[in-house]
Structure 1
Amino acid sequence: MDIVLIGGLWLDGSAWDKVAPALEERGHRPRPLTLPGQGDGNASATLDDQIAAVVAAVDASAEKPMVVGHSAASGLAWIAADRRPDKIAMSVMIGGFPGSDGETYADFFPVRDGAMPFPGWEPFDGPDTADLDDDTMAAVQSRMIPVPETVSRGIVSFVDERRYDMPAVLVCPEFAPADVKEWIAAGELPELTKARDVSYVDLDAGHWPMFSVPDELARVLSELAADADDGA
């Protein structure tokens, strides 16, 4: 199965360098994306540009792909399901959730000179980074790319309610499935409250499992792809 892999904020396609080969070994075709504005040198890229890149990857697949979004890019995976509800086998969200219509995409940290730089690891102290050693954090931080303000402050929009029929899987690293179910029940994640086919995978990791447990993450994604392929 084609597996479109979308890294979260500040990451380019190389974030999946340890996951993609393990997926290939399991017979899948990983397609890591370098999003506009996050590794292609386009400092003026917009959220719409990133959405278009994900949709183009879906359209280029020979069969219905599984679309995987990490962290804030979980929202991109869900928007792709909205734009192409008939062309995606499953939407997988790792450590993140879709935003609501009319919300800003990822306006989480201060913007400087038209971009939102990585704020350092301090805001992520605790479960997010407990499984990352100092060398890994230094290596990852050295590759972090400031996200254009026109991406982080872009406005989320949806156009097709058929997205609610899309199989959606929440891979839960630094939080538990029970936490997400509680948030959904409380109405804190409206898009997932309306989704009709939501399932959960508990992953013993922090917020960046592609760096800390790439083989385990690949195993999880491979099993989900097999399930998606069976249901296609």
Structure 2
Amino acid sequence: MPAFDTAVFDIDGTLLDSNYHHALAWSRAFDAVLDRHVPVAAIHRAIGMGGDRLVAAVAGDDVEDEHGDRLRDRWESEYDQVSGETQLLDGAHDLLVAVGEAGLDVVLASSSIPKHAQRPLHLLHAVEHADAWTTSEDAEESKPAPELLDRALDKVGGGRAVVVGDAVWDVEAANRRDLPTIALLTGGYGREELLEAGALAVYADPRDLLAHFDEAFGTRSRRR
């Protein structure tokens, strides 16, 4: 029996090279709305948590209370301008194919707003290679809350799931449901901090994970 019956994939930073596009969009939003600069490095450290949490995390509760909605609206418009430049990470599509051929259900657990999820779902050929996917509309609470994982698993009825993500927030959300996480370095988080957060294993990128498929997923792929 395979170690898992379901693989739940984060998209941004894990399959799609978009974390730095998000950080830049947030930086431009902060510069436009506030009278002070928020360091992009601080913003990057929060990428992976929901936008409803990010403002307070990087700029404080007062900024969230006074400017949160304006900042999120401005971030959305800024990301609209750069989202078309995002690309799949090497091996992302092949990894989904391999996971499906190994007999696991594939769920793409995106917390993006629907219009921002369209591009990666198209690039990944989600209709052919995913059993289900989510967007921000599927959960009221964003990461690191585990609600999105709950909704993702509800869609396929997975009982033995593994989460594949790139951020400590992915690991934290999975920890809250006692789900193991395979982490990738593609989001800009460090190997040791991902392991310290509780990741089961860390690989460089989707291609590296694919190269270590059997040890990571505990099964023999039926790839031909």
TM over 0.5: no
TM-score under structure 1 length normalisation: 0.30
| Bigger relative contact order (CA 8 A; separation at least 6) | 2
TM-score scaled to structure 2, two decimals?
A: 0.31
Q: Where is the helix percentage greater, Structure 1 or Structure 2? A: 2
